[in-house]
Amino acid sequence: MAGTDASKRVETGGGPAIVLVRPQLGENIGFATRAMLNCGLTDLRLVAPRDGWPNDKARAASAGGDAVIESARVYGDTAEAVADLNLVYATTARPRGMSADVVAPREAAAGLRRAIEAGQAAGVLFGPERSGLTNDDIALADAIMTVPLNPGFSSIQLGHAVMILGYEWYQAGEGGRQASVEPKHPPAAKVDLIGFFEHLERELDACGFLHPPEMRPTITRNLRTLFQRARLTDREVRTLRGVVAGLSSARNRDGED
């Protein structure tokens, strides 16, 4: 639908990161980029795009969204792409056997607004067109965002999914925002949280807890989801790492006696 007014300033900046995980088609990246700029979003992060980057088809499909295309950043994996974020939503249309909170786009947009107004970094994960996000991707998120659509046909195109979230984000800023109070201790950045997960999992491997081997992925995902729901602060993450280190040292001393 046409409607761009060249006399008006393009509103950009300050919104959540849009993280496209293993996107397959350059055109779909371009459509997502166009949706982002429609809603004033410019922080595009690409995780292992199948057809490489930069991509001429993405630029053409963005229909003038060059500012987003040119500033896009590429990452090798999802953990790297969200490392600097404090709040992450993961999008999926399929029910999951995970205990994460599930919210609609409007609720997610409100949560993103509150976090960003409190000085935190936030983002939303969108999965590959064909298969969606993996459980390991979702385990890095604080909550799941699902678009409530026809249950018999709820799959939507990547650009549409980004537009739905972007629209709710944009509308949440049009006079509907509530005053937020900055928390005394903001949530930990994902890079610190992932460091704690890896530390804990190494020690659980060492003591034989993650056994049998075929159950390890399920157990570690469940543990990560549990701690994600707790919305740990940086101070709490440091405390937990100290607890894990202390238990490890005690076990090692006992083994030497």
* Concatenated DSSP letters of 157-208: -HHHHHHHHHHHHHHHTSS-PPP----SSPBPPHHHHHHHHHHHHHHHHHTT
Write down the pLDDT at residue 248: 85
For the structural domain made of 190-256, what CATH number should be given? 1.10.8
What are the structural domain ranges in the chain?
A: 17-172, 190-256
Q: Which of 116, 34, 26, 136 is nearest to 74 (CA)?
A: 26
| pLDDT tens readout for residues 182-241 | 556 788 999 999 999 999 999 999 999 998 999 999 999 999 999 998 889 999 999 999
Q: What is the mean pLDDT of residues 93-100?
A: 68
| pLDDT level of residue 179 (50, 70, 90 thresholds) | very low
Phi and psi torsions of 82, nearest 5°: -105, 5
Most confident of 96-110, 198-212, 238-252: 198-212
CATH superfamily for domain 17-172 = SPOUT methyltransferase, trefoil knot domain (3.40.1280.10)
Residue 86 has pLDDT above 80, yes or no: yes
Give the mean model confidence (pLDDT) for residues 153-176. 85
> What digits encode the pLDDT tens for the residues 15-52?
999 999 999 999 999 999 999 999 999 999 999 999 99
Question: Given a cut of 80, is residue 139 above it in pLDDT?
Answer: yes
Give the residue, 7 or 107, on which the prediction is more confident: 107
| pLDDT class of 256 with cuts at 50, 70, 90 | low
Q: Can you tell me the distance from the alpha carbon of 170 to that of 178, in angstroms, rounded to the nearest whole number?
A: 14
